[in-house]
Amino acid sequence: MRMTSNCYPCILDRAKFECDIVFTKEEEKKGAVEELLDYMACHKGGVPALVGTQRERIIKRRSSNPDPYQSLKDESNRVASNLLPLAQEFYERAEDGIEALVRIAAAANSMEFGVKGHDFDNSTFAGVFSSTLRERLYGDMAEIKRRLEGFCNIFYLTDNCGEVVFDLFVIARLEEMGKRVVIGSKSQPVLNDVTVSELKSMTKTEVVATGDMVGTALESLEPQASSLLFDPDWLILSKGMGNFETITEFEDRLAGRLIYIMRAKCEAVAVEVGVPKGTLVAKPV
């Protein structure tokens, strides 16, 4: 997926959001945003997630803060852990267990900060989580079920902290079905994404590093992750918009064994998928 007119102000809005977290002086904020503007002016039409990666590197370097979202990530995990019983009850009462798991995974992708036009707050998510689970879900559930039945191995590409608490619930249910699951997560902090080191303290499921960029980009893909991604015996469950933005660049190589799961939180992604902004998506490719 390539930059649209909506992507430029969104990337800048998120830069301002992050600058307000890590800087106290206006000159520091201005300097970071202006460096990002210079970069964007020289990289028109690129992949949004990769431009976002450069934004993260600029702000981390200028602030000397290797993980600007750390406190928000910790808070998100606490919020999600408190909501996990609701997800478990939703799953146990569901007539269709597979659809329930997909809905839990998609609804959890709501846990995202700083996206233009997407309002999220840890303190209010508990009040809307139950209704989020029951929202309209865009996707071919019959095809998703067919693929889940047909593949023994699943490479599960994670996205955000908080959200990952629900992902681990979904993964545990997949393992109970006899599936072998390997989790792909970031090698280093980027945005509010969960890292390998954070996940290893949360699960016994195997975790491998995908790289240190927003999404799953071939430019930085770790060897073990690359091996799983392009192995025809593995089904890919791809969480979130960053993964969507990057994987769409090479998804033809994964055709027949790729499923995008997310909330289409921005206009550009929603248009690319063909759904209204804010829709829960489970799209097999």
Is 279 found in the same domain as 180? yes
Q: Give me the CATH number covering residue 15.
A: 1.10.8
Of 26, 43, 63, the residue at which a domain comes to its end is 63
Is 242 found in the same domain as 180? yes
Domain containing 58 equals: 7-63
pLDDT of residue 112: 67
Residue 245: HSE in the Cβ half-sphere, 13 Å Cα cutoff: 28
Element (H, E) at 100: helix 97-108
The total of structural domains in the chain comes to 2
User: Is 90 within 8 Å of 100 (Cβ atoms)?
Assistant: yes
Is 41 among the domain residues? yes
Is 116 found in the same domain as 36? no
Cα 220 to chain centroid, rounded:
17
Is 214 among the domain residues? yes
Is 2 among the domain residues? no
Is 81 found in the same domain as 45? no
pLDDT of residue 117: 47
Among 6, 25, 163, smallest CA distance to 84 is for 163
pLDDT of residue 124: 67
Of 63, 86, 107, the residue at which a domain comes to its end is 63
Is 156 found in the same domain as 51? no
Q: Give me the CATH number covering residue 270.
A: 3.40.50.10880
Q: Return the amino acid letter for 35.
A: E
Is 149 found in the same domain as 16? no
Write out the two tokens for 250. 């090479």
Is 280 found in the same domain as 213? yes
Q: Return the amino acid letter for 169.
A: F
Is 1 among the domain residues? no
Lowest mean per-residue pLDDT among 64-78, 87-101, 105-119, 270-284? 105-119
C-alpha to C-alpha distance for 81 and 75, rounded to whole angstroms: 10
Report whether pLDDT(278) > 50.
yes
Report whether pLDDT(104) > 90.
yes
Is 77 among the domain residues? yes
Is 154 found in the same domain as 225? yes
- The pTM of this model reads 0.94
How many helices (DSSP H) and strands (DSSP E) are in the chain? Answer: 12, 7
Contacts of 233 (CB under 8 A, 6+ apart): 151, 152, 153
Positive or negative torsion for Cα 192, 113, 7, 252: positive
Q: Which one is predicted more confidently, 79 or 36?
A: 36
Write out the two tokens for 216. 């799953």
Torsions phi, psi of 182, nearest 5?
Answer: -120, 135
C-alpha to C-alpha distance for 189 and 50, rounded to whole angstroms: 15
Torsions phi, psi of 3, nearest 5?
Answer: -55, 140
Report whether pLDDT(114) > 50.
no
Is 147 among the domain residues? yes
User: Is 141 within 8 Å of 101 (Cβ atoms)?
Assistant: no
Could you read off the pLDDT of 154-201 as tens digits, one per residue? 999 999 999 999 999 999 999 999 999 999 999 999 999 999 999 999
pLDDT of residue 236: 98
Is 92 found in the same domain as 196? yes
Contacts of 178 (CB under 8 A, 6+ apart): 152
Could you read off the pLDDT of 253-263 as tens digits, one per residue? 999 999 999 99
Of 63, 78, 102, the residue at which a domain comes to its end is 63
Is 92 found in the same domain as 165? yes
Is 185 among the domain residues? yes
Is 147 found in the same domain as 48? no
Is 114 among the domain residues? yes
Is 212 found in the same domain as 100? yes
Beta strands in the chain (DSSP E): 137-139, 153-157, 180-186, 206-211, 234-239, 258-263, 280-284
Q: Which one is predicted more confidently, 216 or 115?
A: 216
pLDDT-derived band at 26, boundaries 50, 70, 90? very high
